[in-house]
Structure 1
């Protein structure tokens, strides 16, 4: 049976199992047992974080579809910025970019140098869980600017606080010919098939699971793949998959929104060469995530073999989304469109009813407090996010926040940044945005604005900000300002109810 045929069958099965759950604005689960307190031991956490993975790749990930049928899918999960370091800093800390100070991938307001230099590494879910006796492992991609051999003033290659196991690369995007800092020792990997980075991470993750279970210690494992980030390098075994596959041609493909903001307005239609490049890139992305899917299966098999699958939460997500031809943009990210800020979040584990979904306004700032509550670790008042356990364990979502904040500093001109936008791929100026289930509202630094009605315009093709009354605009501006200026869990929770 061909891979394409297998995926079609898997997609059909997953769709049938999920169809009843996708409807509705919020979760409506029957009561299930509360939180992890019912577990005989602290639960384990396996977190697979991908790079630039968009919703339209889920159909090529049968292991993720299986996870959906066994757990909970958050359909309105958004990131605080559609860019690597701001998003990842929010994931590690549970705080907005305006509190971490990480707005870009480098320079004086972003990247590893800022996160490290301002002491942010001392306040992550890893440090919190390690203090509670967890074995913690970080594998794959950390933050832009991290170099495996750098000592950061010490005598050995640097490993941040909070991590019991550290297997992290710097430039792992090509998937071959990279260095890993393996617990203070730098090891070079070459160009042989067995050196393919995603596969190496799968093996190391499985070993960590087995060793942690044998030591009878609770553990948190984060495996952060470089795939499917450009250059979209698949494993050699997958390089011939999906012949003829083209990028989706949804309503937004090669179409400008009406009343587009100045940075986007006036773009000419995509050329034939640009469309061909988009199709080739999408096919390579689908090929590249096959190794990610295999990694998920490998890690879950390791959990089963170690006898800890029943007491482990498995979490799958991405640091940001990705547009490919939508709004006449070449492949990229950084915009406030759903293609870029709304990404998959799937969680399965103890007490989570199977095959459920939610459209509650959850965000990447919610992951750290979720992990910390699962592990019984305190959550500092400075954490902006909120634990997802009430939703995961049966809550209706009726009292959950209704709005999320997105913050972006641009345009990106950082030399050497692997996320530096290619020409015509979208490089907007700085903006702040509110996203709710019903709408997205954006304010740019140049004074331009956008408002998209998700109910009547789910593809965000009609900017109707000009039709809003002055009173409504003032209301939106106040709500956005309140979120921009919140600096604690209590304040941000309140500001998120709009």
Structure 2
């Protein structure tokens, strides 16, 4: 612990000297060659590689089995088996993805002002520090299609955010109210187009076509691209494309050992009062799972079409494909109905799959990664040096099988709760899980959670991978003190202080 504090102090002094902020480096930094030992992207002919990033909403690991193109991507690339989000709520997670910084450093702690949402993200200057800004300044064509941040689109006609295009994006096809995938206004580079209820208006279909067009135009321009396809699916109401509405009729939600947990007397106070799930609730959970599986079929087809286009244009050897989710989702575990706001693995552990130049096919990487790492990874892939002020680390050495020392062994999760805003699309149902504010640390074999009301949780994941028995009262006092000290360090860390924990 003493050595880690010394390292953090030294790195902090270096960060002050360098005077860099955000994940987008300044012009002077971008003009420099990468430092000796930095990883050059192994695209053909030394060209800057393309990045195709598919970011889904509320997609949990149990849906991947129903996505054949994603399964094929796993065979072609690397699966991160220990990838965790720093917050299980949409806007804080996406703000972290864009900037490489924990929620306590972006200032985006919720979906709504004054503690979060698009307005806070913008007011705190985060829009100048995204991977889009860095890559556009480095000569990339950058596109975002689908969802941006909660609160980006005002519900009022005169809302100024409806036609605003943030810095860093050369192509912008975004809506803020696309959860139903129908009846939305799409902002295409500052021009609003209304889409109604016809089959052709289905949002994933619309952005799929626009994504194909973007790749084709980038190929014609012979310019590297970063394309983020950001879906609302499978977020509720988990609307499926018309052709998928009647599929998977016999599916049921996975009956894991934690499903409808029989004894929750050892759980924190907010959860102990939850009753056993009744027959009607279980039937609703099964139907929700079917809807979620149906909803991701259009996402999977979109991925297939985009990859077909990449191959058809001869770009396959120069393109990284990244599949990801902003948070997980629980359905019935620990007596919880639909939701995602807990520190349990169902909510914090989500898919990250990467294929591309230099990535070993079929590889599984067990070292820890977080959504703080997406921004510096994209910057590194583009040949840029991530600034020291980001909280995450580039994953490029792991992707390319290079030796790495001092890699993190923990993940940090923070959550501001409970949630009560009736306009919030992530407002939990009565028994969906609405915990108070907490801070948590996940290690390779432990989950430790501190709630602001004094409740604590500790799970031995080696013996109890389904997080059924809260062992906090029995855990060794010395280990609890170590984990509590680590949580306190994470809560206020920034830049190198975060990366060296």
**1:418 corresponds to 2:418:** no
- Deviation of the 1:301 alpha carbon: 0.6
Cα distance in structure 2, aligned partners of 1:79 and 1:34: 25
CA 1:297–1:264: 2 relative to 1, 3 Å: same
- Deviation of the 1:192 alpha carbon: 1.0
Contact 1:324 1:331 in 2 (8 A): yes
SS of alignment partner, residue 292 of structure 2 = helix
Equivalence for 1:147: 153
Pairing partner for 1:266 from 256, 265, 273: 273
Correspondence 1:486-497 to 2 at 5 A: 486-488=493-495, 490-495=496-501
Pairing partner for 2:210 from 204, 219, 223: 204
- Deviation of the 1:381 alpha carbon: 2.0
Pairing partner for 1:284 from 261, 281, 291: 291
Correspondence 1:30-179 to 2 at 5 A: 35-37=40-42, 39-40=44-45, 41-147=47-153, 157-179=163-185
CA 1:150–1:376: 2 relative to 1, 3 Å: farther
- Deviation of the 1:55 alpha carbon: 0.5
Unaligned runs of 5+ in 2: 1-37
Cα distance in structure 2, aligned partners of 1:428 and 1:359: 29
Unaligned runs of 5+ in 1: 1-32
SS of alignment partner, residue 325 of structure 1 = coil
Cα distance in structure 1, aligned partners of 2:43 and 2:69: 27
Equivalence for 1:449: 456
SS of alignment partner, residue 36 of structure 1 = coil
- Deviation of the 1:38 alpha carbon: 5.4
Contact 2:415 2:438 in 1 (8 A): yes
Equivalence for 1:364: 371
Equivalence for 2:225: 219
Deviations 1:267-306 (A, max 9, x none): 2100111111101110011011000000000110110111
Please, which moves more after superposition, 257-266 or 42-51? 257-266
Contact 1:206 1:302 in 2 (8 A): yes
**1:253 corresponds to 2:259:** yes
Equivalence for 1:314: 321
Pairing partner for 2:200 from 163, 187, 194: 194
SS of alignment partner, residue 288 of structure 1 = helix
Cα distance in structure 2, aligned partners of 1:311 and 1:230: 35
RMSD: 1.6
Contact 2:100 2:391 in 1 (8 A): yes
- Deviation of the 1:480 alpha carbon: 1.1
Deviations 1:322-368 (A, max 9, x none): 00000101101110000000000000000000000011110000000
CA 1:95–1:49: 2 relative to 1, 3 Å: same
SS of alignment partner, residue 194 of structure 1 = helix
Correspondence 1:21-36 to 2 at 5 A: 35-36=40-41
Equivalence for 1:350: 357
Cα distance in structure 1, aligned partners of 2:60 and 2:48: 32
SS of alignment partner, residue 107 of structure 1 = coil
Equivalence for 2:10: none
- Deviation of the 1:378 alpha carbon: 3.5
Equivalence for 1:478: 485
**1:388 corresponds to 2:388:** no
Cα distance in structure 1, aligned partners of 2:257 and 2:438: 25
SS of alignment partner, residue 84 of structure 2 = coil
CA 1:97–1:405: 2 relative to 1, 3 Å: same
Deviations 1:389-419 (A, max 9, x none): 1100003566310011100000011230000
Pairing partner for 1:458 from 461, 465, 478: 465
- Deviation of the 1:472 alpha carbon: 1.5
